Amino acid sequence: MKILSNLIAKATPPQPPRIKKKRRGIHIKSPEEIEIMRQASKIVATTLKEIAARVQPGMTTADLDAIAEKRIREMGATPSFKGYYGFPGSICSSINNEVVHGIPSRRKVIRAGDVLKVDTGAYYQGFHGDSCITIPVVEVTPEAAKLIRVAEETLYKGIEQVKAGAYLLDIAGAIQDYAEANGFRVVQEFTGHGVGQNLHEEPSVFNTRTYDLPNVKLKAGMTLAIEPILNAGSRFTRILSDKWTAVTVDNALSAQFEHTVLVTETGYEILTDRSKV
């Protein structure tokens, strides 16, 4: 998840040693690199699928973090998020009005009716996979259920635009139009991103129509983390005192879905597809 402030606000602390120095431009992956990314993304998809099946009221977000780290390491990878610019967890766990970057905590208890976002990444043989899901904990309100459903549908509306020769604005327009047609607002402070040898690479994958960022033409071999965030109320967010957790300014609910997607000549391949694990 990239943070948008005018253009992109770059964090200043150094990355952990395992993350290679960011290269300029967009990295077109080779067939060998794509195969490694398939494996990294499969680890992420497996982890998220297992977390979704195990979430219960009374658990803490620290419990989920421990499950994710254990499974990622068991599958031969390391958690992409842990230590990234100092982030303490292997997952971002954001509940209800928390938009993104929630820090796992033993004090944060999951309750029935919660709208729980779980975002995680895996670093495998030099490449990252990255994905996020929103989980309705037991039975949520009809309004929350609609938000979650539309957020996931919005992600796929964006993905459907992906193919060599298309543009980032094609993705952004499809996302914005579908979200707003269903009565929700798209968060603009955070964007998707390229993903590969670095967790965050170029280009920034925006979720609304904008001319503040380059409207990149897609090429086969690009790998993108597409991740729209929808709010039930205002689109605006604020950052809590922990310097990580973003929340809605009006305490309205928020939902997010994300996939790592490969651009192909004729379309796309969803590398973090949970239905295939």
Given a cut of 70, whether residue 18 has pLDDT beyond it is: no
Closest CA to 62 of 74, 53, 73, 70: 70
- The answer, yes or no, to whether the previous bond of 203 is cis (omega within 30 of 0) is yes
Residues in the chain: 277
Range 36-44 average pLDDT: 98
Q: Are strands 268-270 and 185-186 parallel, antiparallel or unpaired?
A: unpaired
Strands (E) in 48-126, as ranges, are 78-79, 91-95, 98-100, 115-124
- CA-to-CA distance for 84 and 159, rounded, in angstroms? 27
- pTM as predicted: 0.92
12 — pLDDT class (breaks 50, 70, 90):
very low
- Residue pair 137/204 in contact (Cβ under 8 Å)? The answer is no
**Considering only CA atoms, which of 22, 15, 80 is closest in space to residue 47?**
80
Distance CA(270)–CA(277), nearest Å, equals 12
pLDDT tens per residue, range 162-217: 999 999 999 999 999 999 999 999 999 999 999 999 999 999 999 999 999 999 99
Q: Give the residue carrying structure tokens 């925006």.
A: 206
pLDDT band at 4 (very low <50, low <70, confident <90, very high): low
**CA 95/CA 76 separation, integer angstroms:** 29
pLDDT digits (tens, 9 = 90+) for 215-238: 999 999 999 999 999 999 999 999
Per-residue pLDDT band for 147 (boundaries 50, 70, 90) equals very high
| Cα–Cα distance measured from residue 95 to residue 110, given in angstroms and rounded to the nearest whole number | 8
Alpha-carbon dihedral sign for residues 25, 208, 154, 134: positive
Q: Is residue 24 left, alpha or beta, with left meaning phi > 0 and alpha meaning psi from -120 to 50?
A: beta
Which pLDDT tens digit goes with each residue over 51-84?
999 999 999 999 999 999 999 999 999 999 999 9
Sign of CA dihedral 152, 269, 90, 70: positive
pLDDT at 170: 98
Distance from C-alpha of 139 to C-alpha of 32, rounded to nearest angstrom: 43
- Note the helical H segments in the chain: 31-54, 61-74, 142-159, 168-181
Picking from 226, 206, 227, the residue whose alpha carbon sits closest to that of residue 216 is: 206
